[in-house]
Structure 1
């Protein structure tokens, strides 16, 4: 267990001593499934609406709308990783299956669930064991090759480009060996999720149009790549380098479409409280939750994009992050 995780753990005990009423919010929130189903329906509705559009119009809709629907849906993958939707293995399997109906991620949600609690929470900010830290070797390689970053970012704009780019980078600069732990993944569930994605892409193509299948896949790959504006912006905002701290919260309007995902400090302190109650924790103990990020996801993403997506602005382990913190308040001068 990392020192940062211990910091959150000891602080949670102190907060509960001062505010024991927070305990009433412990546990899962089954009504999350209503929002999950609504997002799945929304994503398929958009796939239907784009069925007669040209490929470039589909790309624009995926970039400016589809990826944000999937970002909202991905919040509930995170909830499932902490058993905060339905309880138990069966409840989690049902949750992930319904999410897969909208995300069509080829089972990547299960991979996330397996690593998140076992690696990220338990070993918070420990490079060797926290999987959310980019690989150091690949980050240095990207940082020293601006043309490569431009090429990679352009490739990320195309459907599936992020997959191809990762394969190229992995071949040129293989990742370091790290002790990243993962909880047991059910092989049968993994096969079921992958099969579901393949089946649904086929159905979208055959029963709606190739444009519908393209929209669903393009939205997914845009979100997880360099052009995932709020998705990447959130990741940077939560574990930033512009000042000392463990984790950061973003108290912005984005907590509405992204289901309070900005209450990240609160979540790491009380990982057994579902998204719906996190603002209440902040309200009950405001004297503790002051480690807020004053900038929006899009602001931080834009600054990172202006650096030609240099990984130094994403992690704290690179030399430049100790000398030139580009996320300092004085240097962040971009609009909302």
Structure 2
């Protein structure tokens, strides 16, 4: 069966299973035609708490913290320049200091993708190229445009590349598959988008690639190849079984008891009805937010993506009547454990919406360079 819908005077068709197909064919994603919740909640919050609008805008002091993290990574890389990569000293340092610092840099680039460090967008883009240096690869070019799509088309089957693919769900929903996924999240987030949705290549991408290659060459020239190895290992370990990496799963996976709605799901319906649809964005208010720019305030962030990390706790305080009822997790480490070893948690546990673009269609997602 094909679903036809019109958007901006254009007609799109998406192939879906027949309504009477068994649940195995319908697959186990939470398919819905309901709109994502953040736009509506933002309107309601602004209507009831108009003072929230005063919280929007960039946070100028963030750049100093980011510079400090970059200098920390450069210093540690210099100190390890003569240490073997396979030594315990090198690996433990890369895990404890390097992975934590690079996770902070990943999420600093996330803040920069929303233009929350400088007033002018172009300054955010250029600073992100500098912040990218300790990651070792041109992460900005891979992340920024796809993250814009994630916010604009949350849950869209073809435009939100944060979602696992059908084949990931099939191959990686057993215990070993989930452990592999949890250990290699950084590769899935970096490589998956290129197989799902194409984006427009801009000079910012080119500058990121050139700048990172130049930085890597200088690091190898003046500090040695082991220093660059420290950057790469730090980035890999940041997406491994690291406490801060729990946010990747905690943000949008429907975990544990929140899966109850699927057990009530009538297999003869293609779309889960709104009264059974689980929440798709989750909260974490624990201490690791201090190392990750308050990314645990994730409903607040999706509701108001142009409020900087320092003001998200104030947003939550003002609009507590909206956020208190929403589901939250108490531990990112616990999230990784529950995801891997609780049978009810799989890669299928995401809310998906019928896509508005054919798979493989090139999407114009040009970075705002003004």
**C-alpha distance in 2, partners of 1:258/1:150?**
23
2:243 maps to 1:208 = no
The answer for the alignment partner of 2:95 in structure 1 is: 63
The answer for the alignment partner of 2:123 in structure 1 is: 91
Conserved? CA contact 1:40–1:101, under 8 Å: yes
Change (3 A) 1:220 1:176: closer
Aligned residues: 296
CA shift for structure 1 position 264: 0.4
Match of 2:134 among 98, 102, 105: 102
The answer for the alignment partner of 1:76 in structure 2 is: 108
**C-alpha distance in 2, partners of 1:3/1:234?**
26
CA shift for structure 1 position 213: 1.6
**C-alpha distance in 1, partners of 2:314/2:234?**
33
Conserved? CA contact 2:172–2:178, under 8 Å: yes
The answer for the alignment partner of 2:41 in structure 1 is: 11
Match of 2:81 among 37, 51, 55: 51
**C-alpha distance in 2, partners of 1:80/1:207?**
29
**C-alpha distance in 1, partners of 2:226/2:36?**
49
2:157 maps to 1:143 = no
The answer for the alignment partner of 2:235 in structure 1 is: 220
**C-alpha distance in 2, partners of 1:311/1:136?**
17
Q: TM-score, normalised by structure 2?
A: 0.70
Q: What's the Cα RMSD here?
A: 3.2
CA shift for structure 1 position 277: 0.4
**C-alpha distance in 2, partners of 1:279/1:301?**
24
The answer for the alignment partner of 2:145 in structure 1 is: 114
Please state which structure has a larger fraction of its residues in strand: 2
Unaligned runs of 5+ in 2: 1-6, 8-31, 259-277, 352-370
Change (3 A) 1:275 1:152: closer
**C-alpha distance in 2, partners of 1:151/1:251?**
27
**C-alpha distance in 2, partners of 1:252/1:19?**
25
**C-alpha distance in 2, partners of 1:257/1:177?**
31
**C-alpha distance in 2, partners of 1:29/1:257?**
16
CA shift for structure 1 position 145: 9.0
Q: TM-score, normalised by structure 1?
A: 0.77
CA shift for structure 1 position 98: 1.8
Please state which structure has a larger fraction of its residues in helix: 1
**C-alpha distance in 1, partners of 2:65/2:229?**
24
